[in-house]
Amino acid sequence: MSPFRRRVPSPSVRVAAGERVLASATAADGAVLAGTRDAFYVQRDGETRRVPWEEVEAAGWDRDTDTFRLSEVGTWGEQRPVHTAQLDEPGRLLELVHERVTASVLLQRHVPLGGRRGVRVIARRAPSGHGAVQWVYEYDEGVDPADPGVRAAALEALEALQRDVGMP
């Protein structure tokens, strides 16, 4: 390294034993966002939240407002946890988030439910390959998951997909 180039220290965040921070950024409010091979971390006001990659529903960065947003997989009918932060310099964090979330998706299939609208059945697992496969549903807008017909069709789609790939 050149003696004229200063290395900017990475923000510090507490991570689980055996994990190592691969990318991080400091938000305008002082929160630290970081990613390891296994999880995304938000450290704010002395509290640290760990979100395994397979539990990240979506993430993105709005260039116009410098806002990073990450939402967790939720349960239908309940408030979905969402983490937002103003980031002037997201650095490698955005790439890492995209890479790790994508690596957690084993497969997905969209199943129409009487038209174009339907349900997406998604199989996810920790990118490390450890742990059980988690099966989740993502309903298209306008589809009512409380409808018994929708629930039955979603379950049928899940079972068919599990049979097709041999993954219970």
Here the CATH number for the domain that contains residue 58 is: 2.30.29.30
Is position 9 within any domain? no
Task: For residue 147, give the 3-state DSSP assignment.
Answer: coil
What pLDDT is recorded for position 68?
A: 96
pTM, two decimal places: 0.82
Same domain, 29 and 92: yes
Same domain, 114 and 56: no
What pLDDT is recorded for position 24?
A: 95
Model pLDDT for residues 26-46, shown as the tens digit of each residue: 999 999 999 999 999 999 998
Contacts 24+ apart (CB under 8 A), 86-91: 86/27, 86/28, 86/29, 87/25, 87/26, 87/27, 87/28, 87/33, 87/61, 88/28, 89/25, 90/25, 90/61, 91/23, 91/24, 91/25
Is position 126 within any domain? yes
Q: Which domain holds residue 157?
A: 104-165
Is position 130 within any domain? yes
What pLDDT is recorded for position 7?
A: 44
Is position 11 within any domain? no
What pLDDT is recorded for position 69?
A: 96
| Residue 165 near residue 107, CB atoms below 8 Å | yes
- The CA distance from 67 to 24, in Å, is 15
Instruction: Count the neighbouring beta carbons within 10 Å of the beta carbon of residue 122.
Output: 22
> Which of 97, 125, 155 finishes a domain?
97
What pLDDT is recorded for position 6?
A: 43
- Stretches where the chain sits below pLDDT 70 are 1-11, 168
Same domain, 64 and 118: no
Same domain, 59 and 84: yes
What pLDDT is recorded for position 8?
A: 45
Same domain, 141 and 85: no
Task: For residue 49, give the 3-state DSSP assignment.
Answer: strand
As for how many domains the chain has, the answer is 2
* Chain mean pLDDT for the chain: 88
Spatial strand order in the sheet of 82-86: 56-62, 67-72, 82-86
Report DSSP state, residue 162. Answer: H
